A and B are shown apart, each in its own frame.
Chain A
Amino acid sequence: MSAAIALLLAMPLTVYVLAGIFLLKDNGADSRSFRALTFRALLLALLIYLTPAEDRAWIALGAGIVVLLHLGAQYGLRYLISSGRWPAERNE
Chain B
Amino acid sequence: MQDPGAWAAPLTDSICADASLTGGKAAGLHQLLTAGLPVPPGYVLPLPVFEAHLPAAVPAHKPERPAINDDLRTTLARICQELSPGGEAVVVRSSAIGEDSAQASFAGQHATYYYVDAESIDKAVVDCWLSLWSEQALDYRAERDAGAFGMAVIIQRMVQAERSGVCFSCDPTGKHPDQAVLEATWGLGAALVDGRVSPDRFHIDESGRITARRIARKRLKVAEDLRDRNGSRLEPIPLKQQTEPAVSDIEAAQLATMARQIAADTGTAQDVEWAIDGDEVFLLQSRPITGQPPVTPKVEGRWVLFKPTAENFSEPMTPMTVDLLRRVVPPFGRFIGGRFYVNVDLLARLLPWDLDDESLADVLLMRPLPESTQLSPGRVAGLVALLSGAYLTGGVGWHRTANLDLSKLSAFESRCRQVLDAGDIKALPALTQLVLNDHPFRPAGEFAVQANISSVRYFILIEALRRLLSRWAPDFDETKLALICSGGADMLSQQMVEGVRELAAEAAADSNFAETLKRDDVDLQGAVLALGEYHPFAIALERFMNRFGHRCVRELELMTPRWWENNTTVLAMVRSFLAREPERTEPYGLRLAAEDELHQALKHRWQRRIADYLAERIRYYVTLRENTRYYHTMAMDVVRQKLKALEQTLLQTGRLRCEDDLFFLEYQEAMALELGQLEWQDVEERIRERRLHYQDRALQTPPDTFNLEARIPVLSDDGRMLMGDCASPGVATGRARIIHDPTLAGDLKAGEILVAPYTDPAWTPLFPGAAAIIVEVGSFLSHAGTVAREYQVPCLVDVHGATTRISDGAELRVNASEGWVEVLTP
A and B: real partners?
Answer: yes
Interface residues of A (CB under 8 A from B): 11-12, 15-16, 18-19, 22-23, 25-27, 31-33, 36-37, 65-66, 69-71, 73-75, 77-78, 81-82, 86-87, 89, 91-92
Q: Does B248 contact A (CB under 8 A)?
A: no
The 9 closest A-B pairs by CB, nearest first: A19-B399, A33-B403, A91-B335, A15-B395, A91-B326, A74-B440, A32-B403, A19-B396, A26-B444
B444 and A73 within 8 A (CB) = no
- Assembly CA distance A91 to B398 (angstroms): 30
Q: What are 25 A-B contacts with C-beta separation under 8 Å?
A: A12-B392, A15-B395, A19-B398, A22-B444, A26-B400, A32-B403, A37-B399, A66-B392, A70-B392, A70-B440, A73-B394, A74-B440, A78-B436, A78-B439, A81-B328, A81-B438, A86-B331, A87-B327, A87-B331, A89-B334, A91-B326, A91-B336, A92-B322, A92-B335, A92-B336
Q: Which residues of chain B in 401-455 are interfacial with respect to chain A, using CB atoms and an 8 Å cutoff?
A: 402-405, 408, 432, 436-441, 443-445
Secondary structure at the A interface, as helix, strand, loop or mixed, is helix
CB < 8 Å neighbour of B392 from A15, A25, A27: A15
Q: Does B288 contact A (CB under 8 A)?
A: no
Residues of B within 8 Å of A65, CB to CB, are: 392
B331 and A74 within 8 A (CB) = no
Closest to B326 in A: A91
Nearest Cβ in chain A — how far from B207, in angstroms?
42
A27 and B408 within 8 A (CB) = yes
Q: Does B319 contact A (CB under 8 A)?
A: yes
Q: A18-B396, A73-B393 are in contact. Are A27 and B405 (CB under 8 A)?
A: yes
Scoring B residues 322 to 354 as 1 if CB is less than 8 Å from chain A, else 0, what string do you get?
A: 110011110100111010000000000000000
A70 and B396 within 8 A (CB) = yes
Residues of A within 8 Å of B459, CB to CB, are: none
Nearest Cβ in chain A — how far from B437, in angstroms?
7
CB < 8 Å neighbour of A31 from B389, B396, B403: B403
Interface residues of B (CB under 8 A from A): 319, 322-323, 326-329, 331, 334-336, 338, 389, 391-396, 398-400, 402-405, 408, 432, 436-441, 443-445
- Assembly CA distance A63 to B740 (angstroms): 55
A71 and B392 within 8 A (CB) = no
Nearest Cβ in chain A — how far from B680, in angstroms?
22
B405 and A22 within 8 A (CB) = no
Nearest Cβ in chain B — how far from A84, in angstroms?
9
Closest to B435 in A: A81
A27 and B393 within 8 A (CB) = no
A87 and B326 within 8 A (CB) = yes
B399 and A15 within 8 A (CB) = yes
Q: A15-B391, A81-B436, A92-B335 are in contact. Are A25 and B441 (CB under 8 A)?
A: yes
- Assembly CA distance A27 to B460 (angstroms): 25
A26 and B326 within 8 A (CB) = no
A23 and B400 within 8 A (CB) = yes
A26 and B443 within 8 A (CB) = yes
Nearest Cβ in chain A — how far from B485, in angstroms?
19
B326 and A23 within 8 A (CB) = no
Nearest Cβ in chain B — how far from A22, in angstroms?
5
Closest to A14 in B: B392
CB < 8 Å neighbour of B399 from A16, A77, A81: A16
Residues of B within 8 Å of A12, CB to CB, are: 391-392, 395
B396 and A26 within 8 A (CB) = no
Nearest Cβ in chain A — how far from B48, in angstroms?
45
Residues of A within 8 Å of B445, CB to CB, are: 26
Residues of B within 8 Å of A22, CB to CB, are: 396, 400, 440-441, 444
Closest to A18 in B: B396
Q: A33-B399, A81-B432 are in contact. Are A25 and B443 (CB under 8 A)?
A: yes
Residues of B within 8 Å of A23, CB to CB, are: 399-400
Known A25-B443, A33-B403, A91-B323; further 4 A-B contacts with Cβ < 8 A:
A19-B399, A26-B400, A26-B408, A69-B392
A19 and B327 within 8 A (CB) = no
Residues of B within 8 Å of A81, CB to CB, are: 327-328, 432, 436, 438
